[in-house]
Amino acid sequence: MTKLSAFGFLAIAGFFGVGLAPGLAQGQARSEPVSVIELFTSQGCSSCPPADRLLKQLSERPEVIALSFPVTYWDYLGWKDTLARPENAERQRDYAAILHGGQVYTPELIVNGMKECVGSDLAAIDAALAATAPLIRKEAVPFNVRLEGGRLLIETGAAPPSSPHKMGKVWVATVRRSSPVTIRGGENSGRTVTYTNVVRGLAEAGAWEGAPTSYAVPRGSLPKDGDMLVVFLQTENLGPILAASRIKE
């Protein structure tokens, strides 16, 4: 079966979570179960810098892929976030509708697409990681990602036979690993904050229907404002994230 997604990426039916090993060559990845955490933050939020620093620490854990999604809705406070994207705020609102009644706030952190907590609360984050880890292990989908010949090649395996999660999408995030920003207005005026693993674009590689599937994404079709790609399989509509990979460019 051959599919063509709305983004024009070829998906061909065909076959682990993977992470970037220390010292691994560019364009390669190794198999490793990982958790994905998403921080919704803003340069205009006075409560966010501690969470931004904590995300950097969490990103150094080999079993964690940490992503920062700067949002736009605090821009009215006197400083326009230089990294924020409206799509990030929309993603957060969609999570809020599913997980906790619809109200958004910063800093908010989502763990494995399943648990939300305050982004500066390490104890709560660790508890959420521990709570979601059993499902991630039980429902893990084989996943392999590599860059080859100007294309990002993605291979997913099948869902476990007993899994209720057999529908989802494969997403490709273009990420900038480090973004220092000097903030000259608003609540954080005068601060220089370094943002870690900032998502500069998020594109859908194609649908996943619980069966082995391959995707070929032209590298040139993705944003160039980054130095790492993070690929993840998220079930349903912002459901559990069952596989993920990162590739340094």
Each residue's pLDDT tens digit, 130-144: 999 999 999 999 999
Mean pLDDT of 27-45: 80
The domain total for the chain is 1
Whether the predicted pLDDT of 16 surpasses 80: no
Whether the predicted pLDDT of 71 surpasses 90: yes
Q: What is the CATH number of the domain that holds 211?
A: 3.40.30.10
Per 3-state DSSP, the chain is made up of helix, strand and coil in percentages (nearest 5) of 20, 40, 40
Domain residues for the domain of 17 are: 2-248
The predicted pLDDT at position 133 comes to 95
C-alpha to C-alpha distances, 153 to 15, 176, 181, 203, 233, nearest whole angstrom: 11, 20, 33, 14, 14
The predicted pLDDT at position 96 comes to 97
Each residue's pLDDT tens digit, 19-35: 333 333 345 444 456 99
Each residue's pLDDT tens digit, 204-228: 999 999 999 999 999 999 999 999 9
Give the HSE-up count for residue 112: Cα atoms under 13 Å, Cβ half-sphere. 26
Each residue's pLDDT tens digit, 72-102: 999 999 999 999 999 999 999 999 999 988 8
Whether the predicted pLDDT of 173 surpasses 50: yes
Indicate the pTM of the whole model.
0.88
H or E element in which residue 211 lies: none
Structural tokens at position 24: 């691994």
Mean pLDDT of 3-12: 36
Structural tokens at position 216: 């070929």
Residues 208, 9 contacting (CB under 8 angstroms): no
